[in-house]
Amino acid sequence: MQKLSTRHLLGIKDLTPDDIELIMATAREFKEVINRPIKKVPSLRDVTIANVFFENSTRTRLSFELAEKRLSADTLNFSASGSSVKKGETLLDTVNNILAMKVDMIVMRHASPGAPHFLSKHITANIVNAGDGTHEHPTQALLDSFSMREKLGGDLAGKKIAIIGDILHSRVALSNILALKKQGAEVTLCGPSTLIPRYITDLGVKVSHDVKQTLAWCDVANVLRIQLERQQIKYFPSLREYSLYFGINKKMLDDLNKEIVVMHPGPINRGVELSSDAADSHHSIILDQVENGVAVRMAVLYLLAGQN
């Protein structure tokens, strides 16, 4: 009866609004599970999952690994550094070698956009995209939506969500926009014009360059990291100037005189996009996002593995 419309989670783009609802409902039950004295269920005990990370990660990788363990799956971890990738092995060969060891699911992060989509055309195992370059990061968007729903109470239809920061290089931004639009939310992007992609308004979002105005408008501000490692050219004169124009501090939030929720997918550049006092204030639900990440990833893995 209740199943996802897709065999892989490659991006939010492929999910239907019903899929998102199913993941949210299942994640709610898993959140209750991970708050029990015994946090583990036996569902995936005959499933083996490989976490294949071609790019660095702390949160996502730990979160996936914990989600897999809470579901009783067997896990193996692979990171590109120190592997045969350095000797010139192709992506498909690497993954096929892992699958030859009887692995049922692949959780993959890769620096190239579309890498998991390419893989899905060649292998039968379920694939979960844990971030592909600047393209999508579906589980982050799902956990962001879950955290917003939890904090705002109820669904996101008609809710005003701002995404502030480096939209151009952010896979979190694209996945969030797609997920929020599918749930009927209003979305405004805010950042310097150099960091907002052209034609992004085609996705049905508004664009603003005034952070104060955006904060005054929104119910939730999802603040993104300035991704210096992906910026080959200068998009703004200096971090100090970025922080002066687009950085958010606690005073700005308090001056709004309204309930506002501040989120950040991590890692935070403290003092750049978000000041320390804002990140640690009562407005912030950054650590709830991390907790919810485990529950949402459990739901995704449970629903995908259950289709076989």
User: What are the residues binding another protein (CB under 8 A)?
Assistant: 1-3, 25-26, 28-30, 32-33, 36-38, 40-43, 46-47, 302-303, 305-308
Measured from the CB atom, is 29 or 255 closer to another protein? 29
Give the span between the Cα atoms of 154 and 36, in whole angstroms.
24
- Distance in Å, CB of 2 to another protein, minimum: 5
- Distance in Å, CB of 175 to another protein, minimum: 24
CB atoms within 10 A of CB 40: 12
Measured from the CB atom, is 3 or 122 closer to another protein? 3
Measured from the CB atom, is 54 or 302 closer to another protein? 302
Measured from the CB atom, is 235 or 302 closer to another protein? 302
- Distance in Å, CB of 5 to another protein, minimum: 13
Measured from the CB atom, is 29 or 210 closer to another protein? 29
Nearest to 137 by CA among 25, 246, 227: 227
> What are the strands of the beta sheet with 220-223, ordered from one edge?
206-208, 186-190, 160-164, 220-223, 261-263
Measured from the CB atom, is 1 or 157 closer to another protein? 1
CB 222 within 8 A of CB 266: no
Tokens read off for 129: 């995209």
Give the span between the Cα atoms of 226 and 280, in whole angstroms.
19
Measured from the CB atom, is 24 or 52 closer to another protein? 24
- Distance in Å, CB of 46 to another protein, minimum: 7
> What are the strands of the beta sheet with 74-79, ordered from one edge?
74-79, 48-53, 105-110, 126-132
Work out whether the CA dihedral 170, 136, 123, 41 comes out positive or negative.
positive
- Distance in Å, CB of 70 to another protein, minimum: 10
- Distance in Å, CB of 18 to another protein, minimum: 12
Cis peptide before 138 (omega within 30 of 0): no
Give the span between the Cα atoms of 59 and 297, in whole angstroms.
12
CB atoms within 10 A of CB 41: 17
- Distance in Å, CB of 261 to another protein, minimum: 24
